Amino acid sequence: MTKLNQIIAVEKGVKSKSFQELTQAHQDLQKSPLLSGISRTYQAKDEEGEQLPPESTRVQVRAEDVLRSTAATLTRLFDVTATKDWANCEARADVVVAGTPLLRDVPVSYLLFLEKQLVDLHTFVRKLPVLDAAETWSLDASTDAWRTDPVRTVRTKKVPRNHVKAEATAEHPAQVEMYFEDVPVGYWTTVKFSGALPARRINELVDRVEKLQHAVKFAREEANSAEVQDRNPGAVVFDYLLG
């Protein structure tokens, strides 16, 4: 029997061929000369008159013929699409991660949805903010955030000082140069907090998403390998339309 993945593989080609043939049929039916024909003969007024050969133009396109060929083309498209859509309602598979079924009897349409969402989620998780590796962090229960150990630093204040470069003499005053000295005046105790995540946690989340991505793809392939029953609604539709 035909498998669902085989129907999916041929559907695109059938759609493309149907579109091309339908477009060509539409264009042909808009060309009046192709639909027109004529036959005429000439008879001179008397025997001495000029004799002209008969003229004729054949009808090249018949609307009924175009309808029949279009119906045949679209019947194939209707049948292939119906077979795929009916099969999609029935084709299911389990999503198994590390040997354990996470989701059971998941339809193909939902597997395709999951696959798309997991691509976006993978991007989201990989861009989560990560804690600065240059610091040592621990989880603070009171703030539910990460914190560093207290770091004590000195607060200084610039105090002006005088430096005597040359002592005063009877002839010259003392040469004094002013400068500023950093003098400790207190202490800062700093604790940093962060709502980011440890790199280990982010790597774990990425790994989980990737495992689920692989499981969903495997399930989709398994569901698409299910055997399908051929559906043939095309003939019924066009028998009614052209009957």
Residues 90, 106: contact at Cβ < 8 Å?
A: no
Residues 209, 49: contact at Cβ < 8 Å?
A: no
Residues 235, 65: contact at Cβ < 8 Å?
A: no
Domain boundaries, the chain: 1-91+230-243, 150-190
What percent of the chain is modeled with pLDDT above 70? 100
Which positions ≥6 away from 81 have C-beta within 8 Å? 11
**What average pLDDT does the segment 53-62 reach?**
86
**48, pLDDT greater than 90:** no
Distances (CA, A) of 96 to 25, 145, 173: 49, 34, 93
The pLDDT of residue 213: 97
Q: Which of the residue ranges 40-49, 67-76, 120-129, 185-194 would you say has the lowest mean pLDDT? A: 40-49
The pLDDT of residue 209: 97
Residues 230, 2: contact at Cβ < 8 Å?
A: yes
Nearest Cα neighbor of 118 from 203, 199, 215 is: 215
The pLDDT of residue 5: 87
The pLDDT of residue 178: 86
Whether this model's pTM surpasses 0.85: no
2 — pLDDT class (breaks 50, 70, 90): confident
Each residue of 167-225: pLDDT tens digit?
877 777 878 888 889 999 999 999 999 999 999 999 999 999 999 999 999 999 999 88
**133, pLDDT greater than 90:** yes
92 — pLDDT class (breaks 50, 70, 90): very high
The pLDDT of residue 169: 79
Q: Which stretches of the chain are DSSP H helices?
A: 4-29, 32-35, 63-90, 108-126, 199-224, 233-242
